[in-house]
Amino acid sequence: MKRLDKKQKQYLELISLISIIIIAILSWETFLIYPIKLIVVTLHEISHGIAAILSGGNVVSLDIGLNLGGVCITENGNQILIASSGYLGSFLFGSAIFYSAYNYKYGKWILLSIASILFIFIVNTAANSTFILISTLLIATLTLVNYFLPKIVFNYLIKSIGLISCIYVIVDIKEDLLSESVMASDAVIIENLTGINSYIIAVTWLIISVIGIVFLIRQGFKKGINY
């Protein structure tokens, strides 16, 4: 069988990434994507917690619901940074997971580092059994895929989780723009802290996220298939 040249590998990878996005969009409201949504909500709330700790505050509790709702209660710290970190943090986590599929040397350490962060938050901040269950399953997934899955399965599973996680950030922001929930969105909290209209904040993060996803796909295209 003829080996693919670099250009063919690049275009094959581009097709695979676009296929992941199309499949995700078509099955967005199905159980196929639901576990990844839970992952993103968990990473979103943990990002608030990390920002609180890095800015001198602390995390009181983390609460995740099966309805894809989450709350991170913090004390002290930089409130603007904490409120902003949900969108940014969950996108960065998704990007790190996506990148780990292209660099096996460092990728395994990236996944194990994320698993370690989750474990620390479980031990110190878990407020309910749902958060503990979701985080434990995610830790098991990030750990086990490193050692037990065939390379091609590992490759596409990790790319899918990372890429769909980043896409969900866009959906999360869109829902914050349109939601009439009694719970304040991150954009509204930032508005209350800065005086900047929440729609401007949300649209800004939306644009940043779209640019970020295009960048990830472009990087994937440059690297080409790697299994």
CA 103 → CA 99, 129, 139, 159, 227, distances in Å?
A: 7, 34, 20, 12, 11
Identify the helix (H) or strand (E) that includes residue 59: strand 58-64
- Asked if the structure places residue 8 within a domain, the reply is no
- pTM, 2 dp: 0.81
Is the Cβ–Cβ distance between 12 and 225 less than 8 Å? Answer: yes
pLDDT in tens, 57-96: 888 877 777 777 777 788 888 888 888 888 888 888 888 8
- Asked if the structure places residue 9 within a domain, the reply is no
Query: What is the dihedral angle through the alpha carbons of 39, 45, 46, 47, rounded to the nearest 10 degrees?
Result: 110
- Asked if the structure places residue 10 within a domain, the reply is no
- Asked if the structure places residue 44 within a domain, the reply is yes
Please count the structural domains in the chain: 1
Tens-binned pLDDT, residue by residue, of the chain (227 aa): 457 677 877 888 888 888 888 888 888 888 888 887 888 888 888 888 888 888 888 888 777 777 777 777 888 888 888 888 888 888 888 888 888 888 777 777 887 888 888 788 777 776 667 777 777 777 777 777 767 777 777 788 888 888 888 888 787 777 766 655 545 677 778 888 888 887 888 888 888 888 888 888 888 887 777 66
Identify the helix (H) or strand (E) that includes residue 144: helix 129-148
The backbone torsions φ and ψ at residue 4, rounded to the nearest 5 degrees and listed phi first, read -75, 140
CA 187 → CA 174, 202, 205, 206, distances in Å?
A: 11, 6, 9, 11
Of 72, 20, 66, residue with least CA distance to 39: 66
Of 46, 76, 51, residue with least CA distance to 61: 46
- pLDDT for position 206: 83
- Helix axis angle, 79-100 to 104-125, nearest 10°: 140
- Asked if the structure places residue 58 within a domain, the reply is yes
- Asked if the structure places residue 65 within a domain, the reply is yes
* Rounded-to-integer distance, Cα 155 and Cα 193, Å: 41
- Asked if the structure places residue 47 within a domain, the reply is yes
Domain around 66:
31-222
- pLDDT for position 152: 78
- Asked if the structure places residue 4 within a domain, the reply is no
